[in-house]
Amino acid sequence: MITGVIEGFYGRAWHEDQRVTMLDWIGSAGMNTYIYAPKDDIHVRARWRQAYGAEQLEILTRLIASAKAHNIAFMAAIAPCLDITYSSVDDLNQLLRRIDQLWGIGARQFALLFDDIPNSLPEQDKAHFTSFAAAQSHIANAVLDHVRKLGGGTLLFCPTEYCARFANMDVPGSEYLNTLGQSLDPEIGVFWTGPEIVSATITAASLQEIGTVLRRKPVIWDNFHANDYDIRRVFAGPLGGRASDILPYISGFITNPNNELDANFVPIHTTGAFLAAAQYDEDQALAAAISDWHPRFELAFGPEGERLPDDELRLLIALFYQPFQCGAETIEMLGLAKALLSAPRPAITDEWHQGAERLRKFKERITSLFDHMTELKDRELFHTFHPYLWEAREEVTHLVTYLDWLAQAPATEEVFPSRDRIYNFYRQGFAVAIQEMLPRDEKGNYHHD
Ligand code: GDL
């Protein structure tokens, strides 16, 4: 089974040394593949026809050598999907020249990506193909033939409908996916992100369904830990929402994680644990990952070897956990805050005050975590979390100050005094203005009156 990581996100690509770190993590987690597909490498997607220049080739050559040294398969991606003419012999040849160029520096495995484009056959191809899927299959099969002639064989394919959402939640009814199943060479592996682009859960039944349509077991492209779509979030928690019973229905599992390399330690560690376990246990996997990650949190100014306290590392992960869930402690504190804010006033009870005290302690722990993080020896690790922790600290401080004010039973017409912080311009700007304008409810649905 192909297992590992795809550098497949939008935004700043990883540096050479970060990729070497990632190769190390993939291997230590018992996985076997790294896929080079940063959307930031303009040669992968927007300028796929352009050959790599000498400098980029050197970087890739070194990366391929590192992968080899780590015993990790290196797979190179090409995404000609923005403007390829599927019926053009010239375009196909350009694609094959890229394969040749990558083959020349040692790449032996390839991925062809057709994600995030309109699902329609370009005008100029309509006379040549009966469908979009047939056009893409023609290209993919030709690339596989070429790779075979060179002496290789592995090709993965990312379809345009790569999740059930894009097939209108009707996978068996998708003409596109059925045609792919019939016309793609049976040896080409097909990526699938689950019911959604970022899937809260992926069930065995849903994988059986897509496997039947594709006539092969899909390769999961997991966006569970990806954070390129929301700059305010990072996911340092364990893999969740996937149970071990899916393993018989997939031919691979590749995760596309956070942009920030250093946020990915627990995600990669636990993804490896998930793939290795007969019965995945999220909490156990998290505990094992934390104990391997902790040595990286050495403090610069304390006694030799002093680290971020264990409970603060756990707090860091609980704050920035998973896309659909905060960590247990954070969930509890958010619930408490909500209860205090909605409690009837001015009759504030002892229980209310006790709750407010618990939130103050929580704030103090976040502040202490923040302060300790600024003293990490590993500055990359510090900078990875700094903006997110800054925001968490600001907001929790804001909350506690507000609760303190409520505790003084202000009169109904009184307005919270914004003396000690910068509320008048904090949390504003273009994106926030739009967020505040749109009538979004707690579940994320939009309404109109
Ligand atoms: C996507 C993109 C991916 C991106 C991810 C999360 C696939 C197949 N493609 O749509 O590059 O990182 O969502 O934003 O997932």
Cβ atoms of 82 and 115 within 8 Å: the answer is no
* Enclosing H/E stretch for 116: none
Average pLDDT of each block of 10 consecutive residues along the chain (449 residues)? 98 97 98 97 95 97 98 98 95 98 98 93 95 98 98 94 98 98 98 98 98 98 98 97 98 98 98 97 98 97 92 98 97 97 83 96 98 97 98 93 91 79 70 88 85
Task: Return the structure tokens found at 373.
Answer: 């993080």
Partnered with residue 299 across adjacent β-strands are 376
161 lines ligand 1 (CB under 6 A): no
Q: Which of 139, 151, 138, 50 is nearest to 107 (CA)?
A: 151
- How large is the angle between the packed helices 282-293 and 310-319, nearest 10 degrees? 120
For residue 344, what are the contacts with CB-CB under 8 A and spacing of at least 6? none
Which pLDDT score is estimated for 420? 57
With 0-12 / 13-18 / 19 or more C-beta atoms within 10 angstroms meaning exposed / middle / buried, residue 108 is middle
Ligand 1 center to 409 CA (angstroms): 49
For residue 257, what are the contacts with CB-CB under 8 A and spacing of at least 6? 5, 9, 225, 226, 235, 263, 264, 267, 268
Which pLDDT score is estimated for 233? 97
Ligand 1 center to 149 CA (angstroms): 31
The residue whose CA is least distant from atom 13 of ligand 1 is: 197
193 lines ligand 1 (CB under 6 A): yes
264 lines ligand 1 (CB under 6 A): no
For residue 238, what are the contacts with CB-CB under 8 A and spacing of at least 6? 266, 267, 270, 282, 283, 285, 286, 289, 322
Amino acid present at 181: G
Ligand 1 center to 131 CA (angstroms): 24
For residue 191, give the ligand 1 atom closest to its CA.
8
Tell me how far apart the 2 most distant CA atoms of the chain are, in Å.
Answer: 81
Whether 24 is catalytic is: no
* CA 254 – CA 265 distance, rounded (Å): 15
Chain centroid to Cα 184, Å, comes to: 27
Other C-beta atoms closer than 10 Å to the C-beta of 151 total 8
The residue whose CA is least distant from atom 8 of ligand 1 is: 115
Which pLDDT score is estimated for 345? 73
Helix (H) and strand (E) counts in the chain: 13, 8
235 lines ligand 1 (CB under 6 A): no
Ligand 1 pocket test: which of 10, 258, 264 has the largest number of ligand atoms within 8 Å of its C-beta? 10
Ligand 1 pocket test: which of 193, 198, 221, 260 has the largest number of ligand atoms within 8 Å of its C-beta? 193
115 lines ligand 1 (CB under 6 A): yes
Catalytic one of 24, 116, 228, 292: 116
* CA 263 – CA 316 distance, rounded (Å): 11
For residue 138, what are the contacts with CB-CB under 8 A and spacing of at least 6? 86, 129, 183
Which pLDDT score is estimated for 428? 80
* CA 216 – CA 190 distance, rounded (Å): 8
For residue 228, give the ligand 1 atom closest to its CA.
14
Whole-prediction pTM: 0.96
223 lines ligand 1 (CB under 6 A): yes
The residue whose CA is least distant from atom 11 of ligand 1 is: 9
Cα first-last separation, the chain = 52
